[in-house]
Chains A and B, each alone.
Chain A
Amino acid sequence: MAELLTTQGLTKRFRGLVANENIDFRIDVGAVRCVIGPNGAGKTTFLSMLSGHQAPSAGCITYDGRDITNLSVVERARIGIGRKFQTPTVFDNLTVYENIELSVLRVEPDSGARERKIDMVLNAVRLADLRSVPARELSHGQRQWLEVGLLLGNESRLLLLDEPTAGMTNEETAATGRLIRSLADEHGLTIIIIEHDIHFIRDLRSPVTVLHLGKILMEGSFEDVASDSTVRSVYLGTDI
């Protein structure tokens, strides 16, 4: 399969602290990858460098065959890199429909096609019945979906999801897993997920990258990672 995104020697230093060190990462088109690691492993920093919110101290990022290391957040969003933040970042005072509309607006100038696309996105993220509710009245889980909907609306091809199931019920978490699978398998989207929920990661059946102290500790299937003694030791005390 064709690779969509690679990083080479990606490093981020905050004064003395090394948040990410020499990360060589690769993900193919249509793949789903979970990035896990104990708190402070540098997961969100890694995602921020991919989305353009943090500039790397060293290393480079290639997306779709092009060096994007120096592109801004806006430029990266316009070539299809969409990010869902750890704290849901949506338009709280606007309705669910208007939220998605703002996202679709940039890529779909024709109003008829736009409405159809908004409907499609609303159905995909299971918010069609709540279209006229202001986003601030949604549950935490629904807000997460709304934010994923924003990324679908503007035709993102690479979704960077920072803890997409935080605050969700078990049923919602399972539905999120199914949504992510269908986005990758049926729509060919590429998805990088930061998660803590081990059951969610296991059920996704996707390769896992383990970060520890800013470095890639190992990559492999969930089973390989879960049975690895080094990984178990960095998660000491955590049930994996």
Chain B
Amino acid sequence: MALSAGETGVPKRAGEGAAKADAAIENELMAKVLLIEDDRETAEEITSELTDRGFEVEWAADGIEGLGKARSTRPDAMIVDRLLPGMDGLTVIEALRKDQMRTPVLVLSALGAVDDRVRGLRMGGDDYLTKPFAIVELVARIEALLRRPAESRETTLRVGALELDLIERTAKRGDRAIDLLPREFRLLEYMMQRSDQLLTRAMLLEEVWNYKFVPATNLVDVHMGRLRHKVDGPDEVPMIHNVRGAGFILRTGS
């Protein structure tokens, strides 16, 4: 078992060290990520960030090379720039899908170039991110892609002392019943399916509320504040954590 850099090494930025270490804990299996990006500087930034977080990163500078590397190295996830020399990023993905490779893909697209084909990625289980992006957002989304919740028939979700009954639509923490509004229930359900995983505001907006726009107000924070107030009682150990400048994590325990 390989130890990830984030777990043992000194974090590069002190303020984000805790979040980084937490995100890295789950990368024990050294997930392989293939990055297809033609801009060398961007590629280096992404590579060093992902390596710090315990990923094994392979880099290809154009579509054709990327397609070859995807076929030979069989990565666990791919980050593909939409505009690539040689072969368009979406064409690379289509070629891989024809080979029955279901590797999850995160497409990087310019802000003005998000069309229906790119939007369609989310429906196919993949994801996209518009350039320029925050590096935390990229890492959070790659982790989300790598740990897509398995289709489960469980009717009760359990995270630590937290229990969510999907049939009865009730929630408990230990013996304490939590009274949730429907929107709070939806949010908690989504977070429990992805416990110990950093969820950014944009991800929550897209997935929980299904909104495709960035609201002017900090909507997510307000909703999250309400939920946290109900989930974490005054004498209890907090489970919902705010990662400054990034998003939220539902932590299993201590």
Genuine A/B complex = no
Residues of A within 8 A of B (CB): none
Residues of B within 8 A of A (CB): none
